[in-house]
Amino acid sequence: MQSLKTKATRFAPLMAALSFGALAGWVVYHAPLCRRPAMLLDSAEQQYCDIRDSADVGARGHGYPANGERTGLDLRLADTGDYQILYLASQHQMEDTARRVAMMLGANGGYLDAHGNFVSATGQWSLPAAKLIDGPARDADPGTVALLLQKPSHN
């Protein structure tokens, strides 16, 4: 009987560690996408979360963050007249990856195509980059991810 108690005492820390690891893994797996650690996200998910977080902060009236927390890329806001485009500056990637991020962003998500147009992944909108009131947005590379935002009304 004593040897069984000794074995159980010896394996108790191991069992506790395995239980804690399983619980932590379950919590991380079921956490919302943008609440997961950045190391568990691929590049498209990191871009999505950076743009979504910036748009959420801007919608609350606190201004748009200048840097992506996960990607480290600069976030810029370009004026289009009636709308604004929030985009990841200095981004070099394939259009397929940008299209995937734009689809994750929904109807207002888009990317810069090879023809120089910011286009919606769902085909609902298109804006020529040359007509934007922001020099860096006009000079962006194809594959740049963007989010079309309603301009705030100034009453």
**Span 22-64, pLDDT tens digits:** 666 666 566 678 888 888 889 999 999 999 999 998 888 888 8
Which residue pairs, CB below 8 angstroms and at least 24 apart, start in 43-49? 43/71, 43/93, 43/97, 44/97, 44/100, 44/101, 44/104, 45/104, 46/70, 46/71, 47/71, 47/73, 47/88, 47/91, 47/101, 47/145, 48/101, 48/104, 48/105
CA distances (Å), origin 78, targets 27, 129, 136: 38, 10, 9
Low-confidence ranges of the chain (pLDDT < 50): 155
| pTM for the predicted model, two decimal places | 0.77
